[in-house]
Amino acid sequence: MSDQPVAIVTGGASGIGLGIATALMGEDYDVFVLDNDLHHVDDYNASHPLSRARFCDVSDALAVATEIDGVLHVVGRIDLLVNNAGISGPTAPVEAVDPSEWQKTLDVGLTGAFNVTRSVAPIMKAQSSGAIINIASNAGLMGCPNRSPYVAAKWGLIGLTKTWAMELGSFNIRVNALCPASVRGSRIDGVIERDALARGITPEAVREVYQRQSSLRTFTRAEDISAMVCYLAGPGGQRISGQSIGIDGHTETLTNWLGS
Ligand code: NAD
């Protein structure tokens, strides 16, 4: 049994998840990453001595169960699960969303979190301790036009956060969701470009509107999210459960488009 606390971070081989994994290692966690990008998994393992990243598609329940069993076999406990893996899905009006894209977005962002949580919950219950953090979005708290599958996945994740907090609370397991706004990085650049294309305007104009949606008129930084993960997992977070916490400079709206 490991004498370090153990964390699982899904989608942790790049992007926000990599930032979370790195911050948790800084807090002395033994971090295991489940990610379905082989290239990023290889890169992660090449730069982390214990090769703790595993290739795993979180939408595949059997693969997830096998990987979680493997982690338990190696370290004997799981203290923290961060359900971070998610895809942005299509940017399109509802009638133009392909059903396969709808399904894929939900399979990764919603079913993926269910798959990992259902494998980890019995382990945390047996320990009578644990914390689960779901990386949702401000799009899980309000409507966001042209993002139907993503919004559905994130609202679903917030509903599961409440439900799992209730189911698992008496086992001393806390469950919370984090709701970032747009985070600087390659993923949001892609969302902005697709939105600009759909609206026939420039990416700069889209970026400007996204920033105006927040009271602080700014994007979230990846480090804002990892700092909150560490806080919730640490001593300050011990009485916090069932919450969906905005890390978004206070999103006022996701719809302040002139003329739309
Ligand atoms: P990203 O696309 O940069 O990284 C996602 C990571 O998840 C990648 O390493 C990818 O390989 C992995 N992944 C994708 N599908 C997977 C699967 N089926 N199984 C396992 N791993 C998988 O995304 P990001 O910007 O780092 O976003 C991380 C989380 O934060 C997502 O849930 C996203 O919805 C949420 N979020 C992001 C933003 C943003 O602006 N980037 C804003 C709010 C919320």
Q: How would DSSP label each residue in 47-103? A: HSTT--EEE--TT-HHHHHHHHHHHHHHHS---EEEE--------S-GGG--HHHHH
Give strand ranges (E) for 145-242.
173-180
Length of the chain: 260
Taking CA atoms only, the protein residue closest to ligand 1 atom 4 is: 15
For residue 243, which phi and psi values (nearest 5 degrees)? Answer: -100, 150
Distance of alpha carbon 214 from alpha carbon 254, whole angstroms: 9
Out of 57, 87, 195, 224, mutate this one to test ligand 1's pocket (max ligand atoms within 8 Å of CB): namely 87
Using the mean position of ligand 1's atoms as its centre, give its distance from the Cα of residue 86 in Å: 4
- Residue 158 belongs to some domain of the structure: yes
Q: Is residue 35 within 6 Å of ligand 1 at its C-beta?
A: yes
Q: Is residue 60 within 6 Å of ligand 1 at its C-beta?
A: no
pLDDT tens, position by position, for the chain (260 residues)? 888 999 999 999 999 999 999 999 999 999 999 999 999 999 999 999 898 999 999 999 999 999 999 999 999 999 999 999 999 999 999 999 999 999 999 999 999 999 999 999 999 999 999 999 999 999 999 999 999 999 999 999 999 999 999 999 999 999 999 999 999 888 889 989 998 998 899 999 999 999 999 999 999 999 999 999 999 999 999 999 999 999 999 999 998 665 44
From residue 107, alpha-carbon distances to 9, 58, 89, 160, 234 in Å are 17, 8, 11, 15, 30
Using the mean position of ligand 1's atoms as its centre, give its distance from the Cα of residue 12 in Å: 8
For residue 150, which atom of ligand 1 is closest to its CA?
A: 34
Three-state DSSP state, 147? coil
Using the mean position of ligand 1's atoms as its centre, give its distance from the Cα of residue 82 in Å: 12
Q: Which of the residues are catalytic?
A: 150
What b/e readout covers 95-104, taking b as 16+ CB neighbours within 10 angstroms? eebeeebbeb
For residue 107, which atom of ligand 1 is closest to its CA?
A: 18
- Residue 196 belongs to some domain of the structure: no
Distance of alpha carbon 83 from alpha carbon 253, whole angstroms: 25
- Residue 191 belongs to some domain of the structure: no
What the block records as the tokens of 257 is 């488009």
- Residue 101 belongs to some domain of the structure: yes
- Residue 160 belongs to some domain of the structure: yes
Q: Could you list the residue range(s) of the whole structural domain that residue 142 is in?
A: 6-182+221-247
Three-state DSSP state, 159? helix
Name the one residue in this structure whose structure tokens are 């807090």.
Answer: 27
- Residue 68 belongs to some domain of the structure: yes
- Residue 96 belongs to some domain of the structure: yes
Out of 114, 187, 195, 210, mutate this one to test ligand 1's pocket (max ligand atoms within 8 Å of CB): namely 187
Taking CA atoms only, the protein residue closest to ligand 1 atom 42 is: 182
- Residue 211 belongs to some domain of the structure: no
Q: What is the DSSP string of 98-127?
A: -HHHHHHHHIIIIIHHHHHHHHHHHHHHHH
Q: Is residue 57 within 6 Å of ligand 1 at its C-beta?
A: yes
Q: Is residue 104 within 6 Å of ligand 1 at its C-beta?
A: no
pLDDT of residue 259: 46
pLDDT of residue 130: 98
Q: Is residue 182 within 6 Å of ligand 1 at its C-beta?
A: yes
CATH code at position 76: 3.40.50.720
Task: Provide the domain count of the chain.
Answer: 1
For residue 186, which atom of ligand 1 is closest to its CA?
A: 3
pLDDT of residue 1: 80
Distance of alpha carbon 258 from alpha carbon 260, whole angstroms: 6
Q: How crowded is residue 30: how many other Cβ atoms within 10 Å of its Cβ?
A: 20
Report the alpha-carbon angle 141-143-149, nearest 5. Answer: 95
